[in-house]
Chains A and B, each alone.
Chain A
Amino acid sequence: MTLEKDERLGIVTSGSLNKGVEVRLDSSASVEDMAVGRYVTIEGQKQRFFGMITDISLGVIDPKLTLTPPDVSDPFVAEVLAGTSTYGELHVLPMLTIGGDAKGLLEGAQPVKTVPSHFSPVKLASQSDVELVFGREDEKKFYLGTPLDMETKICLNLEELVKRSNGIFGKSGTGKTFLTRLLLIGMLQKGRAVNLVFDMHSEYGWEGSSEAGRKVKALKQLFPAKVAVFTLDEENSRRRKVSTDFVVRIGYDEITPEDMVLLRQTLNLTEPAVEAVYQLARRFGRRWLERTLEIKDAEETKELLGELSIHESTFQNLRRGLATISRLPFLEAQAADNAVGSILEYLERGINVVLEFGRYTDVTAYILVANLLTRRIHSQYREKMEKAMGEDSARPVPLVITIEEAHRFLNPGVASQTIFGTIAREMRKYNVTLLVIDQRPSGIDDEVMSQMGTKITCLLDNERDIDSVLAGVSGKSELKSVLSRLESRQQALIFGHAVPMPVVIRTREYGSAESYRDFSTAGEAEQDVEELWD
């Protein structure tokens, strides 16, 4: 039996605000038609409650029934007992209230502060209810997917989203990259922010591949005028037939001691070796790296080390680390172009930058480059923002920096020192936020996790990862059961700042010609308007 959307499911029988309410199913509603993660509305006396099913259980009115089960092969007996002596029970977590009066309608959904009264009727949420809660697609809201078993569009408020740092989590192969690509497209389409993407596996710029091995278009193909592809590995890009806008070269003099702190783990540096970097930098100035590499094993070296009180073995450890860096082909003693300058120039023009790493998927390169560029972009953004605040002029467009393998930048050991830690913690003020993509959220510093505005999480099955993603969310244990039951593909749980309540979505289709059309029509229209103004 399929249920009509406006049919009554049952009534509220007990519960609490903290733990959610129990709903006894009517005999006409079968437990087998229910699903964890579905939405229901509860008609209280004064207001309507909007909630999510978080558990489903079976009950009997008399324990004797479980001891001597009736003969349910007789349809008559089965029908009589269903809903009376035996019944289904839903555990519903009320999340929002929708006021019944005109004022309530104007204010929209509010966080729940009480529970519905006894025996309030419960219905499945209708399309219009979901629309009322999540809003329609408009110039701020981007359609990301649909709730389970429904056709309604769940929209994310991108303006709210980019105000804070956000995270996308999930085991590998659960669709993080697809989700990220969708979100980036949303930001491009709605023009609410400019993006700087550190694209470790070259999946966001020109084209990516789906799980099935099919090629899918990425940002540059959909929004050619709004995206610039930068590359660290020109040869690789040429081989993949990707037209790049800029080849990034980094000079030795652009690497500062702070960058080395982040690389401590990957380069296997000791604590004193990192300290030594600061001393060397103080001694040699901007060109410390080049000068340090030039030092020969001679008498004068010993003198120098003695002067700086650096131990011989520490120095060797550091030398080995620096040698690894200097072998990176995109590093040059003297870089011809100013990569940071051109990235900033593009960003200022509202053009999104995707930096492809090509063959340098090695973590050392990724951490070094991402950190180095971000630190300098951040300081310039900060300057601009402060200037804008001082002069009361237009503020720079919000910048969203996307990083993968985020636990390498944001683990408790380095989060307090890296620029990413700083951005995650406080840069909301300066219009720079992060989009963090990671498969081991438990590896990310708690403080950083707690500052994230919106979290989008695909299936996670490690207990620690689930705990760290859900830390501090109300109804944690209920969401936990929802999260661990997500399908391994195309499903994600979204909660936090940009959505009024936690929601499980089936992500919107991506990769077909039709989906591309949906994405770029809006983009092209906007582009035309922009051209008119130029």
Chain B
Amino acid sequence: MGEAERVGEVIEASTTDFVAQCYELYELPPLGSLVRTREQGVELFGVVYRATTTSFEPGRRPIARGRDEASEEALYQANPQLMKLLRSEFGVLVVGHREEGRLHHYLPPKPPRIHGFIYQCSPQEIREFTESLGFLSILVNTHLPIAGDEIIAATLRHMSRVHEDPNAFLVSAGKELAILLSGNFGQLKAILGRLKG
């Protein structure tokens, strides 16, 4: 693997999650994908749980401009300043870290630093990270601003793609969830329904 794909930079950080900004507008990592960053020798792993694109200045909202344009592409070409006035951000939930070569599926001692670089995890890294499924309990037990079921399902779908037998991975993850959600069959059913295909 040459230079790993860098997807952004940390602009806001806490123990449990951080917010990153993309270098290019709309170049967002997909929902549920696994990303990593680094903080003094500790590698942090997180799952992308939300993404937003807003104006640079909070008070200035974009206005509709496309009435006379033939296509959306043409609109952006006619208004090159848009690329500089808008920005894409994504939120990452920390689900584990690697310290001295060992993977841990629990929170790292410190949050990442601002301006820490964020990389998309390679298939190899995803396979390593998902050798055990301990990270699921963080996903299940965190209260996110959007439905947790969606994040869990998106994450597992995303991870399953790099496995040789995606179905076997999903079944074992499903079993882990069935144990974690033993008292909440409704939620389990919702997640399982979103895992297929």
Contact = CB atoms under 8 A, between A and B. Distances in A.
Interface of A: 27, 61-62, 64-65, 68, 70, 74, 76-77, 79-81, 83-85
Residue of B183, B184, B192 with most chain A CB atoms under a 10 A cut-off: B192
Nearest to A82: B175
Given A61-B182, A62-B183, A64-B186, A84 B175 contact: yes
B178 interface: yes
Main secondary structure of the interface of B (DSSP, over half): helix
Contacts of A61: 178, 182
A27 B185 contact: no
B188 interface: yes
A85 B196 contact: no
Interface size class of B (residues with CB under 8 A): 10 to 19
Interface of B: 167, 170-171, 174-175, 177-179, 182-186, 188-189, 192, 195-196
Contact of B185 (A62, A79, A83): A62
Please give me the 10 A-B residue pairs with the lowest Cβ-Cβ distance, nearest first.
A80-B174, A84-B178, A64-B185, A61-B182, A62-B185, A85-B178, A84-B175, A79-B171, A77-B192, A65-B185
Contact of A70 (B175, B183, B189): B189
B182 A76 contact: no
A395 B170 CA distance: 74
Contacts of A70: 185, 189, 192
Contacts of B183: 62
Given A62-B182, A85-B182, A80 B189 contact: no
26 contacts: A27-B175, A61-B182, A62-B182, A62-B183, A62-B184, A64-B186, A70-B189, A70-B192, A76-B171, A76-B174, A76-B192, A76-B195, A77-B192, A79-B171, A80-B174, A80-B175, A80-B177, A80-B178, A80-B192, A81-B178, A83-B175, A84-B179, A84-B182, A85-B178, A85-B185, A85-B188
A80 B193 CA distance: 12
A80 B179 contact: no
A74 to B, nearest CB: 8
Nearest to A81: B178
Contacts of B192: 70, 76-77, 80
Contacts of A77: 192
A76 to B, nearest CB: 6
A77 B178 CA distance: 10
Residue of A27, A62, A68 with most chain B CB atoms under a 10 A cut-off: A62
A76 B196 contact: yes
Nearest to B170: A76
Contacts of A74: 196
A80 B196 CA distance: 12
A41 B17 CA distance: 49
A27 B171 CA distance: 12
A333 B114 CA distance: 122
Contacts of B177: 80
B164 to A, nearest CB: 17
Nearest to A83: B175
Contacts of B196: 74, 76
Contacts of B167: 76
Nearest to A84: B178
Nearest to B191: A80
Contacts of A27: 175
Residue of A27, A65, A81, A84 with most chain B CB atoms under a 10 A cut-off: A84
Contacts of B188: 85
A27 B179 CA distance: 12
Contacts of A85: 178, 182, 185, 188
Given A65-B185, A80-B175, 15 more contacts: A64-B185, A68-B185, A70-B185, A70-B189, A76-B167, A76-B170, A76-B174, A76-B195, A76-B196, A79-B174, A80-B171, A83-B175, A84-B175, A84-B179, A85-B182
Nearest to A67: B185
B106 to A, nearest CB: 23
A62 B174 CA distance: 16
